[in-house]
Amino acid sequence: MEERKILYRVYSEYLKEKYGEKVYKIPINLPVTCPNRDGNIAYGGCIYCGEEGAGYENLSNTLSVGQQMKENISYIRKKYKAQKFIGYFQNFTNTYMPLETFKRHVKEACIEDVVELSISTRPDCISNEYLDFLYKIKEEKGINITIELGLQSVNYHTLVKINRGHTLGEFIDGVNRIKKYDFQICAHLILNLPWDNELDVIESAKILSALNIDFVKLHSLYIEKNTVLGHQYEKGEVQLITKEEYVERVILFLEYLSPSIVMQRLIGRAPEETTLFMNWNTSWWKIRDQIEEEMAKRKVYQGEKCNYLNGPALKKFA
């Protein structure tokens, strides 16, 4: 019988395989900011960053981490009969604080039935001291650690344009450090930044594959009101690609991406009320379905063009 090929590796299936059942992410909202907003690295932040950061589904950050975890877990446990959880430090830059404060927050998240902590941060906010502490948590409590790193683009010039405050160099340094601890890494990319083209998409897939990244979250650029990008958009200074072009970019990215990398997301999402532009006024899942339908129709799969690692020029002697 012909083996059914998977289009791309899906995170929910990966989690089920790893933990033997469905695992639920519990968002944790810390009262933190970002060195790219408070003047440490830059003022104002990335040109698309809104006041809420990424975590608009969170509980208030005036609640302690322990309270947020308990409240959310008890709700999700009842609603879905859930038994295993991932504590997800999602909003802004969750390692940007004194080490002792970081330790306190992380320890509070290590409660019963938490199997993993996922900590979202910037590549320039990773250091050995913070990773040493997380390693201790992993060893003592048996909780897996994933670090989510925003990269957004591999293109130096684009990163300057979006006022990212770091470039690929810091990302590679962060990845190398994290990998020494055997934690997993999730990289975030925006595939339709107005200054990037298909070559940047291919290069980003190649770089993440060469670095042995574990997970990827792809985002489509959404434009929030009252941001620098929002003002540029209103003045007609930025042009966005079409939905069809975004679909093509995702397929291209997946073709070049290593088949071992697991996709956590193919497209971003944000509340409509705060945005000037979001996903071409289409539900995120319709665009995901369109990507999957196109791949199935064309019979293209993740990793098909991942032939550039491990000395490809030597293959002619094999």
* Positions that interact with ligand SF4 (CB under 6 A): 34, 36-37, 45-46, 49, 53, 92-93, 122, 150
Q: CA–CA distance from 206 to each of 11, 93, 154, 177, 185 (Å)?
A: 20, 26, 10, 20, 16
For the CB of residue 45, give the shortest distance to ligand SF4 in the complex, in Å.
3
CB-wise, 196 or 255, nearer to ligand SF4?
A: 196
For the CB of residue 215, give the shortest distance to ligand SF4 in the complex, in Å.
18
CB-wise, 41 or 295, nearer to ligand SF4?
A: 41
CB-wise, 85 or 130, nearer to ligand SF4?
A: 130
The DSSP annotation for 212-235 comes to T-SEEEEE---EETTSHHHHHHHT
For the CB of residue 204, give the shortest distance to ligand SF4 in the complex, in Å.
17
For the CB of residue 218, give the shortest distance to ligand SF4 in the complex, in Å.
15
CB-wise, 53 or 303, nearer to ligand SF4?
A: 53
Residue 187 token pair: 């990289």
Determine the residue with CB nearest ligand SF4: 45
CB-wise, 33 or 83, nearer to ligand SF4?
A: 33
Percent helix, strand, coil in the chain (nearest 5)?
A: 40, 15, 40
Q: Which residues of 40-59 are buried (b: 16+ CB within 10 A; e: fewer)?
A: ebbeebbbbbbeebbbbebb
For the CB of residue 57, give the shortest distance to ligand SF4 in the complex, in Å.
16
215-219 and 144-152 strand pairing: unpaired
CB-wise, 147 or 291, nearer to ligand SF4?
A: 147
Distance CA 283, CA 279 (A): 7
For the CB of residue 157, give the shortest distance to ligand SF4 in the complex, in Å.
17
For the CB of residue 150, give the shortest distance to ligand SF4 in the complex, in Å.
6
CB-wise, 54 or 137, nearer to ligand SF4?
A: 54
Strand ranges across the sheet with 84-89: 23-28, 84-89, 114-121, 144-152, 184-190, 215-219, 262-265
The DSSP annotation for 107-173 comes to HHH--TTEEEEEEEE-GGG--HHHHHHHHHHHHHH--EEEEEEEEE-S-HHHHHHTT-S--HHHHHH
Q: With contact defined as beta carbons under 8 Å apart, do 221 and 158 qualify?
A: no
CB-wise, 53 or 230, nearer to ligand SF4?
A: 53
Distance CA 226, CA 50 (A): 7
For the CB of residue 240, give the shortest distance to ligand SF4 in the complex, in Å.
18
**SS3 category, 37:** coil
Distance CA 18, CA 155 (A): 34
CB-wise, 27 or 45, nearer to ligand SF4?
A: 45
For the CB of residue 275, give the shortest distance to ligand SF4 in the complex, in Å.
15
